[in-house]
Structures are given as structure tokens and as C-alpha cells.
Amino acid sequence: MKTIFLKCLLFCFVVPLFGDFVDGDENEKLNVLFISADDMNCDLSIYGNQQVKTPNLQRLAEMGVRFDNAYCQQPLCGPSRASLMTGLRPDTLDMHTLKHELREKNPDVVTLGQMFRNQGYFSARAGKIYHYGNPSMIGTDGNDDPQTWDQRYNPVGIDRSQQEKITRYGAGREKDKNLGISMAWWDPDSRDEEHTDGMVASKIVELIKEKKGEPFFLAAGFFNPHCPYVAPKKYFDLYPLESIEMPDLESAKKDLEDVPPMAVMRDKRNWPYYFKDVTVEEARKCKQAYYATISFVDAQVGRLLDALEEADLMEKTIIVFWSDHGYFLGEKGLWYKHKAFERSARMPMIIAAPGLSKNVASQKPVELLDLYPTLADLCGLQAPSALEGSSLRPLLVNPKDPSWDKPAVTQIWHNRKAWGYSLRNERFRYTEWLQGKAGRELYDHAKDPEEIDNLADQAKYEGMVVELSKQLEAYVRLTPEKKPK
């Protein structure tokens, strides 16, 4: 009894003090540095791939919590970013494509940056936060939402202004083809600041210095490692081509034998690598280039962290790093995103907040739409009541918090007749295509992290399929009676 009394006493005195330190008071609002990468998967040193050099993301992870099982709401830039910035699922927003329709369909939505603006913060971005065609929309506002920001910056680097120098493979070899979906690369002898992402970092560094005396929400939107894979040559040199390994294509083909056709309907026509006539060696070069662009982004993250330190703002700033979804680099013979598999739905996410856990990882499944309520919570702001995510504060305090039991749900939308939903809990991934009518998938991540063996049709997992299907049903909105426009 004495022990319980002492624990309660400790909780009563320590927890309120801890909460005050995190939230600050009216005169000491926490800043937010919101850093995004485009199409970045978890092939990073901080997630166990020691080949891919990301020392600055490692530095950030040591300052906060690395989420090892973070998932997007849809592995496609437009709906994923709209969902993240509104805290609402793609079905709620009625957004499933790359169309610029956030305000058209949701005129009264309060976005993340808009919430900060409304409550006394300076809100600005440089680069890509909402969807931009890359590289076609670089230098424009793309599909941006002006109500989110006080200021917006759209730099243009040589990756856009000199894109005729980019080497292209497959169906995109022709010079007039869109580079927004391509297997293409360029490794110029150049300075970081000659590239769009280097300019994005420079602008955010400038704003940190300029706005250090007032509360800010600053978003650095990096375009890399989205194709075309362009970065200064020094980053390519980190990855000798002979060190880049490619999956065996015969084994890759077998991986897809038990997968419902709808799961890879966009990928099988020119399998492998999505484009016709791409060789293994060309794919190897693109994988090298993808890794190079990751290290390029990592260097820009380092510049941002340095700027916060120089401005003496580390203890006053929440830092968030995220990507909009994952990415295939030849696994299962696949390339790109837009799939319900783990490599497409999972992406890196790190949160470093003053007074909260440091240098730890959480294995709990979380979602990108959890970021909105998390930042509102940590900054003591009033968030819209309709948010569909949950604050990650419990996991930032205790990354193993046993009370966190919600799954992560990712959806795929190919067209009105082809869509699916995928649920990820701590052990299993379960996917239904057209509510099971076009197939199901079940993968046991404790035994099969690469999702090679689909267990959905095995008799001994029948009960598990029924249970997970019932859980998933609560998130399924694209029924035959209600389809997206």
C-alpha cells in the first residue's frame, strides 16, 4: 500500500510539471519544423539498411522517437499529402487521385498550417508539401493550398531548368516524355544549392533566423528522392555501382504467384520494373541514384538542424520528419509506389519534441494522419473536432505504451472498379480487394517481413481472416453504393 501511495504521489507532482514543460505557456509557444521527403522508403541506416548513409536522420532520431511502423493512408502523393495536412482519410476528403481538388471538395476544411496560423503562428513553406508534379510543377504553387500559409516559396534548381541532361530508361527514353513517372537519373558536378532541394533548405534556414523571435510552423518540402533521381555527383560516389544489389527476378516472379491480380494490376503489363525493356543493369543504376538522392536529402536535413542549433531553438522546437509513402526498388520485380504491400505503405517518420523521449523507437503501428492531432496536442492548440487520427503523445512518452492498440489502414484506388484496403497491426498485414470479392492477402510479419507467403486462403488462418476483415470493415467507405466521383 505504501508503494502505491508513493507512486501516486510521484505521478501527481511529476506528470503536471512534465506536461507544462512540453506544452510551454502562452509566452513560450513551441515552434514546429516540419520536414518532408517525397517517395522516400525505409531503406535508411536508421531503419537497418547500413548501406544507405543518413547521418543527419540518425542525429534527428537520437533526439526523439523513430516510428518503425508508420504508414500512409494512400501510397500516392496527392491523396496522402492532403490526408496528412487535414488529418482526414482520403475517403472523407473524397480525394483518391492527383487532381487539385482539396478546397473544391472540402471548402471549409482547416488544414494543419492553417490551424497554426489561426492561433498566432507564422506559417510558411518552401518546396513540396501538397502534391506537385515532379519535375513539371517545380517553380509553381502546384496543388498547394494558399490558406495554409502566410508565405510560400517555389525555388527552381538545375534538376528542373536543365532536365534535358537527364538520362532516361524504358518507355521514358524519349525526351518529350513526362519525367514525373520515369526511371531516370543525372549526377552533375554541382553544389547542393544549385538544386531545388538545396534551395528549399536555404530558404528554411533563412526563415529560422528571421523568425526565431516568434512562434513558427515552417515546412521544408524536399522533392527527392522522387524520380527523376537527380543529385550532385558526390552523393552518387557514396554508392559504387558494383555495391548495389538487385533482387533475383526468378524468385521475384514466384513472390507474386499467390497475389490477387488486382494487387499488381498496374505493374504486371511490363513486369519487371514497370517500363518495357528496362534491363537489370539500368534498374541497378536507378537504385544507386535513388540512394544518392536520399543522402542528398539527408544533408539538407543536417543544414536545418544546424540552423536551429545556431539560433538556440532546439529546446523550443518540435521537429517532424516524414515521407508521403514508401517505394519499391525491384523487390518482387516491382518499381514505384501505389501498392498495398509493406514497402509501399510504410515510410520513415521521426518526431523530436522537447521534454519527451529521446533515442528510442516505437514498434506500434501509427499513421500519417496522426501527425495533425499530435502537433496540436504538443503545442496546446485547439484542433478541429473531426480529425480522424490520434495524438502520438502517449508513444512519445512511452514508445511501448500498451494502451495504443489501433491499427494503421492504407487504401488503394486504381479506378472505380478496382480498389482495396489494407490493415496493419503489430504482427499482421491484411488486405481486401473489393471487400474480398477480388481477393485477399494476409502476411505474418513475425515470420515473413518481405510478404512472400499469402496466408489468406489457408484453412488454419480462416479465423484470423474473419477477425481482421471485421476490424477493417469500419474503414471501408468505397462500397458499390458509394464510389468516388
Cβ neighbours for 275, distance < 8 A, ≥ 6 positions apart: 169, 170, 171, 172, 183, 335
Going by their DSSP bridges, the two strands 440-444 and 428-433 should be labelled as antiparallel
30-399 is classed in which CATH architecture? 3-Layer(aba) Sandwich (3.40)
What confidence score (pLDDT) does residue 174 get? 60
Q: E-strand spans in 13-148?
A: 31-37, 65-67, 70-71, 122-127
Cβ neighbours for 18, distance < 8 A, ≥ 6 positions apart: 355
- As to burial, measured by CB atoms within 10 angstroms (0-12 exposed, 13-18 middle, 19+ buried), residue 35 is buried
Q: Is 466 helix (H, G, I), strand (E, B) or coil?
A: helix
C-alpha cell at 9: 504521489
- As to burial, measured by CB atoms within 10 angstroms (0-12 exposed, 13-18 middle, 19+ buried), residue 281 is exposed
Domain boundaries, the chain: 30-399
Distances from the Cα of 412 to the Cαs of 37, 256, 341, 461, in angstroms? 21, 18, 10, 24
C-alpha cell at 402: 500498451
What confidence score (pLDDT) does residue 28 get? 82
137 near 100, Cβ under 8 Å? no
Residue 77 annotated in active site = yes
Q: Which residues on neighbouring strands pair with residue 440, listed in sequence order? A: 432
What confidence score (pLDDT) does residue 21 get? 41
C-alpha cell at 476: 471501408
pLDDT tens for the 485 residues of the chain, in order: 334 334 343 334 333 333 444 444 446 899 999 999 999 999 999 999 999 999 999 999 999 999 999 999 999 999 999 999 999 999 999 999 999 999 999 999 999 999 999 999 999 999 999 999 999 999 999 999 999 999 999 999 999 999 999 999 986 556 556 899 999 999 999 999 999 999 999 999 999 999 999 999 999 999 999 999 999 999 999 999 999 999 999 999 999 999 999 999 999 999 999 999 999 999 999 999 999 999 999 999 999 999 999 999 999 999 999 999 999 999 999 999 999 999 999 999 999 999 999 999 999 999 999 999 999 999 999 999 999 999 999 999 999 999 999 999 999 999 999 999 999 999 999 999 999 999 999 999 999 999 999 999 999 999 999 999 999 999 999 865 555 55
Give the predicted TM-score (pTM) of the model: 0.93
Phi first, then psi, for residue 344 (nearest 5°) are -95, -35
Within 10 angstroms of residue 402's Cβ, the number of other Cβ atoms is: 8
Cβ neighbours for 133, distance < 8 A, ≥ 6 positions apart: 98, 142, 180
Question: Which has the closest alpha carbon to 302: 194, 375, 222?
Answer: 222
Q: How far apart are the first and last CA of the chain?
A: 62
Cell numbers 478541429: residue: 384
Separation CA 96–CA 79 (nearest Å): 5
Separation CA 272–CA 280 (nearest Å): 9
Separation CA 140–CA 128 (nearest Å): 10
Q: 42, 72, 96, 131: which is the annotated catalytic residue?
A: 131
What confidence score (pLDDT) does residue 480 get? 55
Amino acid at 279: T
Separation CA 128–CA 134 (nearest Å): 9
Q: 42, 72, 77, 286: which is the annotated catalytic residue?
A: 77
